[in-house]
Amino acid sequence: MSDQITASFDTLLQQATQTSAQYLRHAKRDIDELFGDGYAAKNPSLVAAYMQTAAADFSSSTQGKILGASMNTMSDAINTLSNSVDGIAESISNVATSLEQ
């Protein structure tokens, strides 16, 4: 699975509405299970808070996953660069040694 988002803006918009609908269904079900049938309908601010919490959690988890993958990629690139610099330094040292002889 790639950590890059390749979906179009239209697809992302469609997915956003599907996700909101899913959050809403889960909010109603979970709140009513916890506080009794009909509690979610009588407390729309609790439903909204549930949905905001779910969205914030997903957002931070997604950002963490992407940042972690980016950091791994940068770490690999830095290691490659470091190995290249070490190779150049060794070559320069060999040339200097040869010139001294």
**pLDDT tens-digit series, residues 47-77:** 999 999 999 998 888 888 888 888 998 999 9
Give the pLDDT score at 3: 63
Under 8 Å between Cβ of 47 and 24 = yes
Under 8 Å between Cβ of 20 and 51 = yes
Give the pLDDT score at 7: 83
**Which letter, b or e, does each residue of 4-30 get, where b requires 16 or more Cβ atoms within 10 Å of its Cβ?**
eeeeeeeeeeeeeeeeeeebbeebbee
Distance CA 73, CA 80 (A): 11
Distance CA 68, CA 85 (A): 25
Distance CA 12, CA 26 (A): 21
pLDDT band, very low/low/confident/very high, at 2 (cuts 50, 70, 90): low
Whether the pLDDT of residue 23 is over 90: the answer is yes
Phi and psi at residue 2, in whole multiples of 5°? -85, 145
Per the structure block, which two tokens stand in for 32? 């009513």
Give the pLDDT score at 101: 80
Interval 25-37: pLDDT, tens:
999 999 999 999 9
Give the pLDDT score at 4: 73
